[in-house]
Amino acid sequence: MEYSKIYVTRIRELCRKRGFAINKLASMSGVKQSTLDNIVRGLTKNPSAKTLHKIAIAFNMTLSEFLDFEELNEYSFEDDED
């Protein structure tokens, strides 16, 4: 799975589990809806740690908890181009 798609999967999964729409997540996180839309649509390839932290807080998680999921844990960053 492509790195940028990992966040898309995680955000969509957590929204589904919690019954959130993207606009509700935007409101709860303080992240602009356009920014979240770009992440979920795969247009933003590498969201900032600050943005991810705000999203994690909206899910009542630490950033570490938000980033601790199978797809990311198994991802090989060595294959990424700088």
pTM, two decimals, is 0.80
Q: pLDDT (tens digit, 9 = 90+) per residue, 47-66?
A: 898 999 999 999 999 888 88
Q: pLDDT (tens digit, 9 = 90+) per residue, 34-51?
A: 999 999 998 988 889 899
Residue ranges of domains in the chain: 3-75
Say whether domain 3-75 belongs to CATH 1.25.40.10. no
Q: Any residues with CB less than 8 A from the CB of 35 and at least 6 apart, and which?
A: 26, 44, 47, 51
Give the span between the Cα atoms of 78 and 59, in whole angstroms.
29
